[in-house]
């Protein structure tokens, strides 16, 4: 019966946390606050004002008493004072909030609720198996790289003491083969439905840091949402100026070129990538393209439209184009797209003026439920 | 509380350990062990040992924190024991037999301490029942007025639960309630004594008396009537008695206060209590209970418990070492004038008067001391030196803490300073009729460390929520007097007069 008590109190706590995240979600999004806090499956969210306030001392004046080696003036390098002790100020005392780990799924759910995003029905639910190793036990045989030092040491210590060769004055422990202990693992399999997001971005001179930051924030939330809708997700990154190439995520956000702009180069590479690696029967495909709306020529724009119509749209769940405002861009491309594909549900366009526009733009992209 | 019986092999061990403990003179309430899995252990620990407590989200927050740190392998609760008659103690399923033995021996140390340490004497030994009772009452209020209202009020109460007077259960404080001052009773004008009756009208002329009477009456009407008469450290009790609360609110606040007083002695004796329990698990294990095969396991677990860090003291370690030091000093007579006056270091080192009073002495110490008096009386320069204690301070230039001193006096001062009032600021209810407007003035007695303002303003808002008139706290920031005020809408920080 009391098991239920903690479950109730715990879910009440999670409910409060969710409420606080929801209240602050738009701020988190437009300030890009959560991106640096992402772990593998969770995001550490700074939840404001949840800890119960008390009259307490400012931590810095307080100092304390410690135990160990060192001379006056030596810095305390390990073990932050007072960490985790009740009634004492920790590092974040002044900020008066707590870091709460929220799973990416839960964050996506909150995003979905707050922006009223419809759920996506994945197509081609194939049973692709994914496997994963988990280290769960100890055994006495295995590769050296998995040797458990502590267990091995203890085993050797025990053996030396019991066989009378342990000398407390010269406590050297030498493990022999029988002492060695190794971590052991188990492989688990899980079924899968897949999606691939192909991000394309114009990195010509007119795209500044501010514009790229907007793209970075958008891509984080798009990743988060789509990840929650599929079991497995892959992201690919293409940058282009007059020519296009595929890069890794880091390069994607930090490259700045000065050349001209040929959007078709990116669309062509994107289409090749899909043909090559992502059969449409197994993959849900999401191309996203961000630029400031400048293209080199009318001819190139026309070629883009052809590529989309013939190669990209037939294979994609939807095609998203985000236009970030820059002081240099003409902003023409979005007009061309709307002219050609207005009324086509599979093409979503969005104009993003500044960081405050990110929330609305995410809603435009993901609000179709495709 | 429903308890499951232990598996037979552990019941046998319990009987053994209990017999050993008794043989050494430990004396305790009946102790009931329950074996739980780690989830249940984390649950019980989140509730401070009482899974029957009233519902509140912060227990859920605590639970999440513990579960997470457990799953990361950062901590594991070995044992949990509740000050109650009978004592309830929890063992963690999956621990090795050696660990269970050690935990049991440790638990008997705690149980003895709970029963015999004087600072625990006013605690309710039927607290399990009382906690359950509190839980039932809070649940009833939730049904009546709704979860949100009760929860919000509990948040407020818990925000102030540290503002108690930790010594009040042991001494009689003057009654802070004001004498009823009835404005209808006519003002008495004191007269000068006339030695002869006929002098009366010259010494106390009618018109002077009338004037004086008028003056006193206006004074009575306009003067600030200060209340309480003496500043009162138990701010929450003051609020519970005097704030305009609804019946259920008063009841909830009083529950929170009584639970805070129940837990207070555990905070006041953390070092002693853990030291005592560790002293006994170590003694019982090494003298009696260990088998040869278990020694390395025991050594590993014991040393993990005793680990020290530069960022703070480990109460287990300081406690056990200090008890051992006291035992040694009273065994060898290393105390008193003769010893203190001896200037030959070598002689001091090998000092031995063969008194053999060590055991008796530590039993006496565990009866009468709390952490503050324990350290005040028994911390010695030799001990600090042997234990490598130091003080650390924040270095603004370096933006980090650094070792400040290894001087005995400053170590002792810092330790005692941290422990006094359980490391909490001293805050008094000073005047409930501040500015003669029924506003509440709190007084922070500044002992060298400033209050944290961000936390202070939130807490002050919670004081307002109970008092429902503007509230103030007089404090000091960087050596200058300040007056913090919250009127429910705004916080202000003005120079204090």
User: Cβ neighbours of residue B348 under 8 Å, at least 6 residues apart?
Assistant: B334, B339, B342
Interface residue A136 vs chain B (CB under 8 A) = no
Nearest chain B CA: its distance from A172 CA (Å):
15
Cα dihedral value B326, B328, B331, B337, nearest 10: -60
**Given the structure tokens 């030196």, which residue do they identify?**
B385
Interface residue A164 vs chain B (CB under 8 A) = no
Interface with B, mutate which of A20, A49, A52 (most B CBs under 10 A): A52
CB contact under 8 A, A67 and B402: no
Domain-wise residue ranges, chain B: 8-117+269-300, 306-419, 423-495
Q: Which residues of B touch A71 (CB under 8 A)?
A: 403
Q: Which two tokens stand for residue B130?
A: 């009382």
Q: What is the pLDDT of residues A153-194, one digit of tens each?
A: 999 998 998 898 888 899 899 999 999 999 988 887 666 677
Q: Report helix, strand or coil for A175.
A: coil
Nearest chain B CA: its distance from A130 CA (Å):
24
Cβ–Cβ < 8 Å for B102, B254: no
Phi, psi of B478 (to 5 degrees): 45, 45
Fold of A195-366: Rossmann fold (3.40.50)
CB contact under 8 A, A76 and B402: yes
User: Cβ neighbours of residue B185 under 8 Å, at least 6 residues apart?
Assistant: none
Cα dihedral value A138, A143, A149, A150, nearest 10: 10
A77, with CB counted inside 10 A (0-12, 13-18, 19+), is exposed
How many of the other CB atoms lie within 10 Å of CB of B277?
25
CB contact under 8 A, B449 and A58: yes
For residue A272, the model assigns a pLDDT of 93
CB contact under 8 A, A12 and B57: yes
A13, A87, A158 member nearest B57 (Cβ)? A13
Residues in chain A: 370
Interface residue A103 vs chain B (CB under 8 A) = no
Mean pLDDT of all residues belonging to chain B = 89
How many of the other CB atoms lie within 10 Å of CB of B489?
8
A55, A73, A95 member nearest B403 (Cβ)? A73
Cβ–Cβ < 8 Å for B316, B306: yes
- Helices A298-307, A333-341: crossing angle, 10 deg rounding: 40
Cα–Cα distance measured from residue A206 to residue A259, given in angstroms and rounded to the nearest whole number: 10
Calculate the alpha carbon distances from A264 to A217, A248, A303, A365, B175 in Å: 25, 20, 6, 21, 87
Query: Percent of chain B having pLDDT more than 70?
Result: 95
Cβ–Cβ < 8 Å for A214, A324: yes
DSSP sequence for A280-345: TTTEEEEEEEEE-S--S-HHHHHHHHHHIIIIITTT-S-EEEEEE--SS----HHHHHHHHHTT-T
Q: Which residues of A touch B68 (CB under 8 A)?
A: 101
Give the per-residue SS3 of A12-57.
HHHHHHHHHHHHHHHHHHHHCCCHHHECCCEEEEEEECCCCCCCCE
Nearest chain B CA: its distance from A18 CA (Å):
13
**Given the structure tokens 């009073």, which residue do they identify?**
B357
Of A182-191, B26-35, B457-466, give the lowest mean pLDDT range. A182-191
For residue B324, the model assigns a pLDDT of 97
pLDDT of B469 > 80? The answer is yes
For B78-96, letters b (16+ CB in 10 Å) and e give bbbbbbbebbbbbbbeebe
A6, A87, A94 member nearest B454 (Cβ)? A94
A54, A59, A93 member nearest B459 (Cβ)? A54
Cα–Cα distance measured from residue A150 to residue B245, given in angstroms and rounded to the nearest whole number: 59
A9, A59, A82 member nearest B57 (Cβ)? A9
Cα–Cα distance measured from residue B134 to residue B151, given in angstroms and rounded to the nearest whole number: 14
For residue B178, the model assigns a pLDDT of 54
CB contact under 8 A, B449 and A61: yes
pLDDT level of residue B225 (50, 70, 90 thresholds): low
Cβ–Cβ < 8 Å for B22, B278: no
Q: Which residues of B touch A80 (CB under 8 A)?
A: 311, 401
Q: Quick one: closest CA in B to A156, which residue?
A: B296
Q: Which residues of B touch A154 (CB under 8 A)?
A: 296, 300
How many of the other CB atoms lie within 10 Å of CB of B296?
16
Interface residue A188 vs chain B (CB under 8 A) = no
User: Cβ neighbours of residue B286 under 8 Å, at least 6 residues apart?
Assistant: B298
Interface residue A62 vs chain B (CB under 8 A) = yes
Q: How many CA atoms lie within 13 A of A40 on its CB side?
A: 0
Nearest chain A CA: its distance from B270 CA (Å):
12
Q: How many CA atoms lie within 13 A of B445 on its CB side?
A: 12
B159, B389, B423 member nearest A88 (Cβ)? B423
pLDDT of A93 > 50? The answer is no
Nearest chain B CA: its distance from A147 CA (Å):
18
Cβ–Cβ < 8 Å for B321, B383: yes
Domain-wise residue ranges, chain A: 2-57+74-115, 130-189, 195-366
Q: Considering only CA atoms, give the Rg of chain B.
A: 28
Selected residues 5-44 of chain A with any CB under 8 Å from a CB in chain B: 5-6, 8-14, 16
Beta bridge partners of B428: B443
Q: Which residues of A touch B371 (CB under 8 A)?
A: none
User: Cβ neighbours of residue B354 under 8 Å, at least 6 residues apart?
Assistant: B331, B332, B333
Q: Note the pTM of the prediction, 2 decimals.
A: 0.78
Cα–Cα distance measured from residue B194 to residue B209, given in angstroms and rounded to the nearest whole number: 14
Q: Give kind and range of the element (H or E) at residue B213.
A: helix B206-222
User: Cβ neighbours of residue A250 under 8 Å, at least 6 residues apart?
Assistant: none
Cα–Cα distance measured from residue A30 to residue A217, given in angstroms and rounded to the nearest whole number: 8
Return the number of CB contacts < 8 Å for A and B.
Answer: 217
For residue B221, the model assigns a pLDDT of 67
Q: Which residues of B touch A53 (CB under 8 A)?
A: 159, 455, 458-459, 462
Cα–Cα distance measured from residue B143 to residue B136, given in angstroms and rounded to the nearest whole number: 11
CB contact under 8 A, B310 and A53: no
Cβ–Cβ < 8 Å for A324, A352: yes
Q: Quick one: closest CA in A to B162, which residue?
A: A54
CB contact under 8 A, A67 and B309: yes
CB contact under 8 A, B60 and A81: no
Interface residue A55 vs chain B (CB under 8 A) = yes
pLDDT of B184 > 90? The answer is no
For residue B2, the model assigns a pLDDT of 47
Interface with B, mutate which of A6, A106, A162 (most B CBs under 10 A): A6
Among candidates B65, B95, B68, B69, which has minimal Cα distance to B80? Answer: B95
Q: What is the pLDDT of residues A244-284, one digit of tens each?
A: 999 988 888 877 777 778 899 999 999 999 999 888 877 88
Question: Which residue pairs, CB below 8 angstroms and at least 24 apart, start in A354-359?
Answer: A354/A210, A354/A214, A354/A325, A355/A30, A355/A31, A355/A32, A355/A213, A355/A214, A355/A217, A356/A30, A357/A214, A358/A29, A358/A30, A358/A214, A358/A217, A358/A218, A358/A221, A359/A26, A359/A29, A359/A30, A359/A115
Mean pLDDT of B434-453: 90
Interface residue A98 vs chain B (CB under 8 A) = yes
Cβ–Cβ < 8 Å for A350, A321: yes
pLDDT level of residue B26 (50, 70, 90 thresholds): very high
Number of H helices, E strands in chain A: 10, 11
Residues in chain B: 497
Of B59-73, B104-118, B150-164, give the lowest mean pLDDT range. B59-73
Cβ–Cβ < 8 Å for B57, A12: yes
Of A13-22, A253-262, B81-90, B397-406, give the lowest mean pLDDT range. A253-262
ipTM of this predicted complex? 0.82
CB contact under 8 A, A76 and B452: no
Calculate the alpha carbon distances from A24 to A21, A47, A96, B458 in Å: 5, 9, 15, 19
CB contact under 8 A, A52 and B158: yes
User: Cβ neighbours of residue B411 under 8 Å, at least 6 residues apart?
Assistant: A65, B379, B384, B389, B390, B391, B405
Peptide linkage before B228 cis (omega within 30 of 0):
yes
pLDDT level of residue A138 (50, 70, 90 thresholds): confident
CB contact under 8 A, B63 and A6: yes
pLDDT level of residue B212 (50, 70, 90 thresholds): confident
B400-405 sheet: strands from edge to edge? A64-67, B389-395, B400-405
């Amino acid at each position: 019966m009391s098991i239920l008590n903690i479950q109730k109190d715990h879910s009440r706590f999670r409910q409060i946390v969710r409420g606080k995240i929801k209240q602050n979600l738009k701020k988190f999004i437009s300030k890009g606050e959560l991106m640096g806090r992402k772990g593998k499956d969770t995001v550490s969210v700074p939840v404001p004002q949840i800890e119960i306030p008390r009259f307490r001392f400012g931590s810095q004046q307080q100092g304390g008493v410690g135990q160990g080696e060192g001379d006056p003036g030596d810095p305390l390098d390990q073990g932050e004072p007072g960490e985790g002790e009740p009634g004492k100020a920790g590092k974040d005392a002044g900020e008066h909030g707590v870091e709460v780990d929220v799973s990416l799924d839960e964050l996506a759910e909150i995003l979905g609720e707050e922006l009223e995003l419809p759920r996506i029905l994945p197509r081609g639910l194939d049973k692709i198996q994914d496997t994963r190793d988990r280290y769960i036990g100890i055994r006495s045989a295995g590769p050296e790289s998995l040797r458990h030092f502590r267990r091995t040491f203890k085993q050797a210590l025990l053996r030396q003491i019991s066989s009378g060769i342990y000398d407390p004055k010269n406590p050297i422990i030498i493990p022999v083969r029988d002492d060695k202990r190794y971590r052991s693992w188990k492989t688990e399999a899980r079924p899968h439905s897949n999606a691939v997001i192909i991000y394309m971005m114009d990195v010509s001179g007119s795209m500044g840091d501010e514009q790229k930051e907007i793209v970075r924030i958008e891509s984080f939330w798009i990743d988060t949402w789509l990840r929650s809708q599929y079991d497995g997700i892959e992201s690919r990154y293409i940058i282009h100026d007059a020519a296009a190439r595929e890069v890794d995520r880091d390069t994607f956000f930090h490259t700045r070129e000065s050349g001209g702009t040929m959007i078709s180069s990116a669309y062509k590479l994107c289409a090749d990538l899909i043909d090559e690696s992502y059969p449409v029967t197994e993959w849900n495909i999401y191309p996203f393209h961000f630029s400031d709306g400048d293209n080199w020529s009318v001819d190139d724009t026309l070629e883009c439209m052809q590529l989309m119509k013939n190669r990209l749209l037939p294979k994609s769940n939807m095609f998203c184009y985000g236009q970030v405002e820059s002081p240099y861009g003409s902003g023409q491309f979005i007009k061309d797209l709307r002219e050609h594909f207005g009324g086509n549900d599979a093409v979503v366009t969005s104009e993003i003026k500044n960081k405050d526009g990110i929330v609305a733009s995410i809603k435009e992209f993901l609000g179709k439920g495709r | 509380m429903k308890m499951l019986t232990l598996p037979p092999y552990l019941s046998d061990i319990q009987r053994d350990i209990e017999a050993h403990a008794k043989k050494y003179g430990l004396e305790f309430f009946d102790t009931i062990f329950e074996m739980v899995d780690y989830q249940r252990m984390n649950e019980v620990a989140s509730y401070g040992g009482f899974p029957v407590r009233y519902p509140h989200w912060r227990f859920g927050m605590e639970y999440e924190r513990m579960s997470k740190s457990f799953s990361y392998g950062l901590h594991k609760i070995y044992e949990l024991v509740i000050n109650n008659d009978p004592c309830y103690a929890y063992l963690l399923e999956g621990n090795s037999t050696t660990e269970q033995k050690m935990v049991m021996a440790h638990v008997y140390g705690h149980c003895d301490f709970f029963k015999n340490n004087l600072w625990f004497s006013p605690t309710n030994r039927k607290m399990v029942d009382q906690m359950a009772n509190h839980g039932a009452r809070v649940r009833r209020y939730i049904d009546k007025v709704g979860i949100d209202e009760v929860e919000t009020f509990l948040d407020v109460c818990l925000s102030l639960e540290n503002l108690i007077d930790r010594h009040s259960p042991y001494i009689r404080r003057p009654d802070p309630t004001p004498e009823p001052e009835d404005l209808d009773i006519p003002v008495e004008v004191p007269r000068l004594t006339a030695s002869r009756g006929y002098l009366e009208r010259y010494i106390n002329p009618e018109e002077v008396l009338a004037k004086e009477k008028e003056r006193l009456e206006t004074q009575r009407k306009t003067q600030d009537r200060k209340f309480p008469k003496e500043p009162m450290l138990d701010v929450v009790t003051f609020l519970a008695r005097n704030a305009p609360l609804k019946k259920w609110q008063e009841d909830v606040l009083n529950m929170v206060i009584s639970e805070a007083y129940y837990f207070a002695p555990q905070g006041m004796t953390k070092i002693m209590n853990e030291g005592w329990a560790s002293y006994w698990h170590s003694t019982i294990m090494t003298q009696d209970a260990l088998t040869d095969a278990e020694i390395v396991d025991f050594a590993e677990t014991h040393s993990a418990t005793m680990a020290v860090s530069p960022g703070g003291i480990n109460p287990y370690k300081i406690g056990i070492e200090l008890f051992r030091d006291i035992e040694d000093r009273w065994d060898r007579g290393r105390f008193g004038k003769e010893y203190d006056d001896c200037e030959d270091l070598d002689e001091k080192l090998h000092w031995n008067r063969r008194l053999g009073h060590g055991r008796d002495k530590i039993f006496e110490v565990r009866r009468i001391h709390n952490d503050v008096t324990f350290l005040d009386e028994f911390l010695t320069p030799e001990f600090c030196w042997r234990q490598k204690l130091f003080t650390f301070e924040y270095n603004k230039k370096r933006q980090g803490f650094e070792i400040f001193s290894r001087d005995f006096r400053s170590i002792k001062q810092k330790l005692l300073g941290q422990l006094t009032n359980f490391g909490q600021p001293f805050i008094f209810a000073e005047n409930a009729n501040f500015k003669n407007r029924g506003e509440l003035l709190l007084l922070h007695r500044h002992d060298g460390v400033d209050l944290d303002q961000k936390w202070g303003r939130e807490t002050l808002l919670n004081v307002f929520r109970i008092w429902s008139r503007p509230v103030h706290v007089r404090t000091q920031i960087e050596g200058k007097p300040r007056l913090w005020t919250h009127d429910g809408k705004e916080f202000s920080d003005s120079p204090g007069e």
